[in-house]
Structure 1
Amino acid sequence: MKTLGVGLIGANPDRGWAISSHLPALLQGSAAGGVRLAAAGTSRAETAKRAEEKFGVPGYADYRDLIRDPAVDIVTVSVKLPLHHEIVSAALDAGKHVYCEWPLARTLDEAEDLAARAEAAGVHSMIGLQSRASPVLDKLAALIRDGYVGEVLGVSVVASGLGWGGAIDAGNAYLMDAANGATLLTITGGHLLDAIIRACGEVEAVSAYLPTRRTRVAVLPADQLARYRAFEAVLSFPQPGDVPSPSADVIDATESFRPTSPDQVAITARLADGAPLSVHIRGGMQRSTGLMIEVIGTEGELRVTGPAGVIQMVPLALSGARGATRTLEPITVAEDPRDALGPISANLARLYAAFADDIRSGTRTVADFGHAARHQRLMERIRSAGETGQWMSAA
């Protein structure tokens, strides 16, 4: 079996999403199904050099040089959303297979363009909707499909956004600008809705309320960054109330700005089978419910819980009851040795393994850029529903 080389663009050796998520999977080739790190790309020469020294692969400060490296079979794009279209386009033009983080692009037009480019290039593409590799969510979908709850009567979701609260570090402040496309709706909402649709069926129509309730967001000073690394904290604290919350705590910040991205996402939708879906995503980290998904049916109920609404990143638990059973009981999910990597990297290892299988065999089983563009169209429909106050067809 040929080991496939991944060129990881966004491989800052000191901080960021890639070092906490992709690298633990890629540095263990067996975990990712014969996929290994072959090159690391950053935005500056000094970080590229440190990445080369730290990871033992060539480091590149120019993504074009990484794409040209013959050892790179798959280009992984893990950078800020406004840069996706440019970098993904270059990788596709070079005939490389491409993994890109969700959302695929800043706008629907850009996403549809990338989907068309990938199809025309004849390469394999994969969108980073990591919850598609969650064993808990696989089990949820299988139980619903096999009739555990009977006919689905309704689905309810309450989730914390983790980000989009009352404070943010300067490096992620772009998330609070709706023009950049990386919002509470598109990121947290996009991942959540993909998981719900996979388990319960397509969304047929939507209405939404997407307010920005906080008028100012504090920019965290350097001495407070460690305390409010919510991404890391949510994996360390088992209970939602234990996680440090920029939304709830008093912050000693001298700089603030007015956000334009919504910090509350309230969606009411009709699923294809007629069942109602309600979703409320609250920006920031609450001391109460981090994540709860409830599927109610004619024969039973299922519940998924987690410490935060970023469903692709956090440990999940599944419980259910049916028939005469009146109390929800834990449902066992088969163990996977890759789970030792933690939920983020374990999901990515499983995605890389499936992607590699597709590339080697010529199959197309993973969610590709075509799926990403269709899902981004749903995000646009929800945004439009929020602006107009009208129900919108999801088609």
Structure 2
Amino acid sequence: MSANNTKKIRLGLIGVGNWANNGHFPVLALFPQYELSAIYSQRADAAQEAAQKHGIKHVVKTLDGLVRHPEVDLVLVLTTGPQHEEGIRAAIAAGKDVYCEWPLTPDVKTSAELVALAHVAGVRTILGVQRRFAPAFRYLRDLVAAGYVGKLRSVRLHVSVNSFGQRRPSGLRWSVFPENFMGVTSIFGAHLMDPLFSVVGRPKEFSALMLNQIPEVIIAETGEQLRTDVPDQLLMSGTLQGGAVFSVHIEGGKHNGSGVRLDITGDKGDLQLTNTSAFGGPDEHYQILGASGENVPLSALPIPAPYKVVPDSTGLPTGVLELGDLYALHAADVENDTRTLPSFDDALWMQQLLELAVESSTTGRRVAAPIL
């Protein structure tokens, strides 16, 4: 859809939280293809404030009114994980295309029900795991596909964050409770394994270890002490569908030197992707190094300009710019009647993968990966 096309994609927003304010709103302001048409929140004052600040035409009083509003083409479910189900069911029942943040819901059974409902209704679903569309990951995927490293032999991903440690801000209080399915291994695991597997292919089988090494969490603002058994360490190792071996390590509460490192080895060369941040703040960009041949030093591989959909000059954090890449691709999907974005099917697959990781960790057995 070109910027000159007068038919905009009209958005209806459910929820006005931190990610809506600091992610979606600033990104959507960059894309004339979209119109912020309607908004609903259980906090009516927050919805009204957002509408005034961002020029949203309609403040709707009920969830049903939002999803059935005649000027809404795509429903954005931006509430917390445990609240997603209600908004998704309503959007599907209204026959509206729907976007939802990860995780789809806190449990596999409910997520599977929503996927089935979406298929029956024939609506387009979009999962908010936008990292695979970061310029670095798209370039890396093309390098691998073009044979830069030859046939894949091994893949190793390490993701560490300095948050999710013993002292946490009140904004992370929800991460303590297992029923929310929003700990560091489920959140950062999904957001970084999704782009990993988009580059190298999905697993065939694996074994896993999930541990909680921080059984007591202290809320920084209040001193509240909470017991938790939510894992803060995830180790996975196994084979990919193509035969290469892979390993993934996700850990929270790392005090120093946190970030992302991905090593890809083939029979003809090597690639390495790094970032000093697992989220991506201002100027925290992924760097790619590569080498082909034997005993060749790794050298920088600058990301070509065409991969950068949203200019760095916006001043937005790189973790937010990736959301812009997702919105740009959705607009192209609508114009071309294609479907390139992750769907709720992908959400269910990732949730099943993480559930199998728990099974493997509990039983000590190797498990077969789910098939999408």
- Check the 8 A contact 2:309/2:325 in 1, yes or no: no
Cα distance 1:124–1:284, how it changes in 2: closer, same or farther (>3 A)?
same
Cα drift, residue 95 of structure 1? 1.1
**Cα distance in structure 1, aligned partners of 2:25 and 2:89:** 23
> Residue 49 of structure 1 aligns to a residue in which SS?
helix
Matched ranges for 1:25-174 at <5 A: 25-30=27-32, 34-57=33-56, 58-60=58-60, 62-174=62-174
The alignment status of 1:212 with 2:212, answered yes or no, reads yes
- Number of positions where the alignment pairs a residue of Structure 1 with one of Structure 2: 358
Give the counterpart of 1:389 among 354, 364, 368: 364
> Residue 294 of structure 1 aligns to a residue in which SS?
strand
- Check the 8 A contact 2:137/2:199 in 1, yes or no: yes
Match of 2:310 in 1: 338
Match of 1:228 in 2: none
2:338 partner letter: T
Match of 2:251 in 1: 282
Match of 2:181 in 1: 181
The alignment status of 1:17 with 2:15, answered yes or no, reads no
- Check the 8 A contact 2:36/2:55 in 1, yes or no: no
Where structure 1 has 5 or more consecutive residues not aligned to the other structure, the ranges are: 222-252
Higher relative contact order (CA 8 A, sep 6+): 1
Cα drift, residue 143 of structure 1? 0.8
> Residue 360 of structure 2 aligns to a residue in which SS?
helix
Q: Greater shift after overlay, 194-203 or 175-184?
A: 175-184
Match of 1:233 in 2: none
2:128 partner letter: G
> Residue 310 of structure 2 aligns to a residue in which SS?
helix
- Check the 8 A contact 1:160/1:281 in 2, yes or no: yes
Cα distance 1:52–1:353, how it changes in 2: closer, same or farther (>3 A)?
same
Cα drift, residue 361 of structure 1? 3.5
**Cα distance in structure 2, aligned partners of 1:272 and 1:311:** 30
Match of 2:230 in 1: 261
Q: Greater shift after overlay, 364-373 or 191-200?
A: 364-373
**Cα distance in structure 1, aligned partners of 2:279 and 2:246:** 18
| Deviation by residue 1:121-168 (Cα, 9 ceiling, x = unmatched) | 111111111012111001111111111111212111121135421222
**Cα distance in structure 2, aligned partners of 1:177 and 1:381:** 20
**TM-score by structure 1 length?**
0.85
**Cα distance in structure 1, aligned partners of 2:61 and 2:325:** 28
1:387 partner letter: T
Q: Greater shift after overlay, 156-165 or 99-108?
A: 156-165
Identity rate of aligned residues, in percent? 31
Match of 2:348 in 1: 373
> Residue 204 of structure 2 aligns to a residue in which SS?
strand
> Residue 281 of structure 1 aligns to a residue in which SS?
strand
Match of 2:293 in 1: 323
| Deviation by residue 1:31-82 (Cα, 9 ceiling, x = unmatched) | xxx1232223332122122112211213345433322322211111111111
Q: Greater shift after overlay, 150-159 or 58-67?
A: 58-67
- Check the 8 A contact 2:269/2:294 in 1, yes or no: no
Where structure 2 has 5 or more consecutive residues not aligned to the other structure, the ranges are: none
**Cα distance in structure 2, aligned partners of 1:144 and 1:150:** 8
2:230 partner letter: S
Cα drift, residue 384 of structure 1? 1.3
**Cα distance in structure 1, aligned partners of 2:197 and 2:160:** 19
**Cα distance in structure 1, aligned partners of 2:72 and 2:227:** 42
> Residue 198 of structure 2 aligns to a residue in which SS?
helix
- Check the 8 A contact 2:77/2:88 in 1, yes or no: yes
- Check the 8 A contact 1:38/1:71 in 2, yes or no: yes
Matched ranges for 1:204-243 at <5 A: 204-221=204-221
Give the counterpart of 1:6 among 4, 11, 17: 11
**Cα distance in structure 2, aligned partners of 1:9 and 1:169:** 25
Match of 2:278 in 1: 309
1:10 partner letter: G
| Deviation by residue 1:274-294 (Cα, 9 ceiling, x = unmatched) | 222111111124312411111
| Deviation by residue 1:78-128 (Cα, 9 ceiling, x = unmatched) | 111111111101011111111111121111111111111111111111111
Task: Give the superposed CA RMSD.
Answer: 2.0
> Residue 338 of structure 1 aligns to a residue in which SS?
coil
Cα drift, residue 200 of structure 1? 0.8
- Check the 8 A contact 1:131/1:312 in 2, yes or no: no
Matched ranges for 1:350-361 at <5 A: 350-361=325-336
- Check the 8 A contact 2:280/2:319 in 1, yes or no: no
Cα distance 1:394–1:149, how it changes in 2: closer, same or farther (>3 A)?
same
**Cα distance in structure 1, aligned partners of 2:35 and 2:163:** 31
Cα distance 1:132–1:337, how it changes in 2: closer, same or farther (>3 A)?
closer
**Cα distance in structure 2, aligned partners of 1:62 and 1:164:** 34
Cα distance 1:339–1:102, how it changes in 2: closer, same or farther (>3 A)?
farther
2:319 partner letter: I
| Deviation by residue 1:181-205 (Cα, 9 ceiling, x = unmatched) | 1222221111211111111111011
**TM-score by structure 2 length?**
0.90
Q: Greater shift after overlay, 205-214 or 39-48?
A: 39-48
